[in-house]
Amino acid sequence: MKDKVLFFDTTLRDGEQSPGASMNLKEKMLVANQLEALGVDIIEAGFPISSPGDFESVKTIAQKIKNSSIAGLCRASQKDISCCWDAIKYSKKPRIHIFLATSDLHIEKKLMMTRAKVLDSAVKSIKYAKSFCKDIEFSAEDAGRSDMDYLCKVIEAVIDAGALTVNIPDTVGYTIPNEYGDKIAIIRKTVPNINKAVISVHCHNDLGLAVANSLAAIENGARQVECTINGIGERAGNASLEEIAMALKVRPNYYNIQTSIKSKEIYKTSKLVSKLTGIAVQVNKAIVGANAFAHEAGIHQDGMLKSRDTYEIMHPADIGVPESSLVLGKHSGRHAFFKKLKELGYKLNDKDSLSLFEKFKVLADKKKVIFDDDIVSIAEENAASTKEIFSLNYMSATSGTGTIPTATVRISKLNENNKPAEIIQEAACGVGPVDAAYRAIDKATKMDITLIDYSIKAVSSGEDALGEVFLKTKYKGLIYSGKGTSIDIVEASAKAYMQAINKAANMSKAQ
């Protein structure tokens, strides 16, 4: 039977300590609900005594979360412990999490105490916490730099006092995997009553080793791992939950460990935390980065098209991502390009396909990413691919304080001879002048097109600077870009939108 590793998520406590990552009560509740859906065993909801807001957040989460244990952090003082209990006592499975430093550096410089005093305080705090609930965790802060004999003495004492979980934090990300794994092994071998408690680990990423250290600890007998979504947290962050969970899932024969994590909820959880904290996930981050399942190199794309296992050790669906993506760029090969042509509806002979591939490579050297409409543009050999189907003749937009933004457009629908076959005039309201203009254009063209990205920048200086709008739209599953320039931002926006609509209309007509 496989051993089980408990996942203790501290996104709402340590993760929220990332600069600028603070969340309000509603946001914390959203995260807590998603962590429960993810299958997290213990949710550290906050540090109750740190602020009235944190107390209320922990209390509310304790009241509403039913499946996960709810932990509150506190220092080794009766005041902290009492406050923590008042917040978490509503939980079906409450946990009091007490921390106290055990490294000589922290004892002397921060606490200004002695080893004996720290040991006494740790034992007294555990006994006091036990008067409130059974589930007590003790963290030996800066255990990674603590004297091993003293650390083992403290661990033995707090277990005797009633701690059911002992946490061995690498608080400043100082240790190396082999070294950290050895510490866990020594604790298991040396502490006589260690079988009465779960060994937990909490690793920081200052040297980029938080996940590696956590996995080394698991190999050596740790059975609780403390981590955060996307690895957020103090300084360089914490061990990343999704990386540890997927390492255990992808290498079951090596670790022989089971967990409660529902991996298909990982991507959704990552996106939610990123959105609410404002901390973007780096594109090349393992598991949840935008490039984690993206392939541009021709050799990789060819392998993926033949068998995805050649270059993917896990399937994107395992973490809740719909599918891998073959990104077209200068490193892409023929097979990926031909696949894209087929998806776009083009049936070409080998000679024409190779000719288009050469044109694609020339374009790819100039652009970082190739969009669908770029492929359409080079695939069409005549002017039909870029000719206007809809022409914007007139546009007027109004907005202001106390005024409902409104736009009126007059659009010509052109025939094969590029002459107006129909003139359409429409008006619409929106949340702003650009939105109103887009709504009016939608009504006039009757194109069910969706705006998915919009950006604007100045391309000259001064009060009359030219503004350049770049946008991306989606139509029938394909992406079309548009660009427009004008000293009038609304006009530039309309031009860009019309360009994307014409590209989509041409592609739809060609099919």
If asked whether residues 228 and 364 sit together in one domain, one would say: no
**CATH number for the domain harbouring residue 443:** 3.30.160.270
Measured at the CA of 257, the angle between CA 137 and CA 33, to 5 degrees, comes to 55
Flag whether pLDDT at 369 surpasses 60.
Answer: yes
Average pLDDT over residues 376-398: 70
Strand boundaries in 102-212, DSSP class E: 136-141, 165-170, 198-203
**Residue 298 and residue 240 in one domain:** no
**CA atoms of 165 and 176, how far apart (whole Å):** 23
Q: Are residues 137 and 191 in the same domain?
A: yes
Residue 80 pLDDT: 98
User: Does residue 216 have a pLDDT over 80?
Assistant: yes
- Unique residue bearing structure tokens 């807001």: 53
Tell me, yes or no, whether 339 and 391 share the same domain: no
Residue 166 neighbours by CB under 8 Å, 6+ apart: 137, 138, 140, 155, 158, 159, 194, 197, 198, 199, 200
C-alpha neighbours within 13 Å on the C-beta side of residue 206: 13
In a domain, 284, yes or no: no
Q: In this structure, are 360 and 234 located in the same domain?
A: no
Contact 334, 357 (CB under 8 A): yes
C-alpha–C-alpha distance, residues 70 and 12, integer Å: 11
Q: Are 88 and 195 within one domain?
A: yes
pLDDT one-digit tens code per residue, 221-254: 999 999 999 999 999 999 999 999 999 999 999 9
The candidate with the shortest Cα–Cα distance to 15, out of 187, 226, 159, 246, is 226
- Output the six-digit token pair for 297: 């190199």
Domain boundary among the residues 277, 302, 318 is at 277
- Which residue type sits at 214? S
Report pLDDT for 508.
Answer: 74
Let me know if residue 285 belongs to a domain.
no
DSSP letters along 419-448, please? -EEEEEEEEEE-SSHHHHHHHHHHHHH---
Q: Is 50 exposed, middle or buried (0-12, 13-18, 19+ CB in 10 A)?
A: middle
Grade residue 392 by pLDDT with cuts at 50, 70 and 90: very high
Q: With contact defined as beta carbons under 8 Å apart, do 473 and 483 qualify?
A: no
- Domain-embedded: residue 166: yes
Residue 419 is predicted with a pLDDT of 78
Asked whether residue 186 falls in the same domain as residue 129, the answer is: yes
Residues 370 and 450 in one domain: no
Rounded to an integer, what distance in angstroms lies between the CA atom of residue 281 and that of residue 279? 7
Whether residue 392 sits in one domain with residue 331:
no
pLDDT of residue 69: 98
Residue 241 buriedness (CB in 10 A; 0-12 / 13-18 / 19+): buried
Mean pLDDT check: name the lowest of 5-9, 35-39, 224-228, 461-465: 461-465
Q: Which two tokens stand for residue 490?
A: 């609304």
Residue 276: per-residue pLDDT:
92
Tokens read off for 330: 């200068």
Q: At what angle do helices 241-250 and 266-277 cross, to 10 degrees?
A: 170
Average confidence (pLDDT) over 351-368: 74
Domain boundaries, position 328? 294-381
Q: What does R_g of the chain's alpha carbons equal in angstroms?
A: 29
DSSP assignment string, 56-88: HHHHHHHHH--SSEEEEEEESSHHHHHHHHHHH
Domain end (from 381, 416, 433): 381
pLDDT tens readout for residues 284-297: 899 988 777 665 55
Are 372 and 389 contained in the same domain? no
Q: How far apart are CA 122 and CA 96, in angstroms?
A: 13
Question: Within this chain, do residues 403 and 374 fall inside the same structural domain, yes or no?
Answer: no
Query: What is the CA 323 to chain-centroid distance, rounded?
Result: 17
Q: Which of 8-17, 259-268, 403-412, 465-474 has the lowest mean pLDDT?
A: 465-474
Is the model's pLDDT at 31 over the cut of 60? yes
Q: If pLDDT is split at 50, 70 and 90, which confidence band does 383 have? A: very low
Query: How would DSSP label each residue in 286-351?
Result: TTTSTTTTEE-SHHHHHHHHH-GGGT-SS-GGGGT----EE--STT--HHHHHHHHHHTT----HH
CA distances from 81 to 89, 363, 405 (A): 12, 64, 55
Which residues of 134-236 form beta strands (DSSP E)? 136-141, 165-170, 198-203, 224-227
The answer to whether residue 357 is domain-embedded is yes
**pLDDT interval class at 91 (50, 70, 90):** very high
The pTM score is: 0.70
Tell me the average pLDDT across 390-408. Answer: 92
Which pLDDT score, from 0 to 100, does residue 160 have? 98
Q: Say yes or no to pLDDT of 88 above 70.
A: yes
Any domain includes 287 = no
Give the domain CATH number at 44.
3.20.20.70
Give 246 or 377, the one with higher predicted confidence: 246
179-193, 272-286, 313-327: segment of lowest average pLDDT: 313-327
Q: CA geometry: angle at 476 spanning 475 and 481, to 5°?
A: 30
Asked if the model's pLDDT at residue 373 lies above 70, the reply is: no
Q: Which of 122, 209, 204 is nearest to 166 (CA)?
A: 122
Helix%, strand%, coil% for the chain, nearest 5: 45, 25, 30
Does the residue 257 lie in any domain?
yes
Is residue 497 assigned to a domain?
Answer: yes
Q: Give me the number of domains the chain comprises.
A: 3
**pLDDT band of 358, cuts 50, 70, 90:** confident
Between residues 280 and 510, which one has the greater pLDDT? 280
pLDDT digits (tens, 9 = 90+) for 289-344: 877 766 555 556 556 557 667 767 787 788 887 665 555 666 677 777 777 677 66
Domain end point (choices 277, 311, 326)? 277
> Does 213 reside within a domain?
yes
| 25 torsion bin: left (phi>0), alpha (psi -120 to 50), beta (else) | alpha
Same domain? 203 vs 187: yes
| Alpha-carbon gap, residue 133 to 373, rounded angstroms | 63
Q: What is the mean pLDDT of residues 38-42?
A: 98
Of the chain, the percentage scoring pLDDT greater than 70 comes to 87
